[in-house]
Amino acid sequence: MSVTDSRHDVSAHGAQGDPHEASHAAQRSAGNGSWLTAVRFSLLMAVVLGLLYPLVVVGLGQLGFSHQANGSLLADAEGRVIGSSLVGQRFTSERYFQGRPSAVDYAAGAVGGSNLAPSNPALRERAEADAGQITARDGVEPGRIPVDLLTASGSGIDPAISPEAAAIQVDRVARARGLSPSA
């Protein structure tokens, strides 16, 4: 028995005992401790990251940005929710600026693009039909129609249009509302 073995033997079992048995006992106790530590750490992280952190983030969002955190909702004069400033909608009246086409018919619960490539005939046909409607409605040549009035956004519900897309609709909206284009 070497000096190292005898020290191990003495530290594990006093002056007598099998050095192999002491080694196995040390491994068992270290394995149980590591396993329990891993379980405790996992439970702690589940509580901290799965419960406390989300509650803190939601609380801060409500305190500092409640309008945005609650969906940027728009209400009418009676206070009824009529939409969100983040979700486009179909306008049929001449009194309103027309937004981007929607690949999901403006359904906020079904966001997504059409995934049609520019080379796809279905996309071309739809864009040409939309261009024909815009030309008839706003009196704009097809080559002057901004691309955002012919293509859906990646989400399919984006309400934003470019200043160019708004500019080609100003005369129609002003006429329908009885206003001058500058107003």
| Paired tokens of 23 | 């080694």
Which is higher by pLDDT, 30 or 162? 162
Q: Is residue 2 part of a domain?
A: no
| Averaged confidence pLDDT in the chain | 84
User: Could you tell me the maximum CA-CA distance found in the chain, to the nearest angstrom?
Assistant: 106
Please compute the mean of the pLDDT values over residues 65-71 and round it to a whole number: 92
Q: Is the pTM of this model over 0.85?
A: no
Tokens 């080694």 -> residue: 23
Q: 42-51, 56-65, 71-80, 149-158: which has the minimum mean pLDDT?
A: 149-158
Report the pLDDT value the prediction gives residue 3, as an integer from 0 to 100: 52
Q: Is residue 28 part of a domain?
A: no
> What range defines the domain where residue 173 resides?
87-177
**CA 79 to centroid of chain Cα atoms:** 27
Q: Is residue 23 part of a domain?
A: no
Is 51's pLDDT higher than 90?
yes
Triad 62, 71, 64: Cα angle to 5°: 25
What confidence category does residue 12 fall into, taking pLDDT thresholds of 50, 70 and 90? very low
| Paired tokens of 169 | 């609709």
Q: Is residue 150 part of a domain?
A: yes
Number of domains observed in the structure of the chain = 1
Q: Is residue 166 part of a domain?
A: yes
Each residue's pLDDT tens digit, 35-48? 999 999 999 999 99
Each residue's pLDDT tens digit, 98-114? 988 888 888 877 788 77
Q: Is residue 72 part of a domain?
A: no
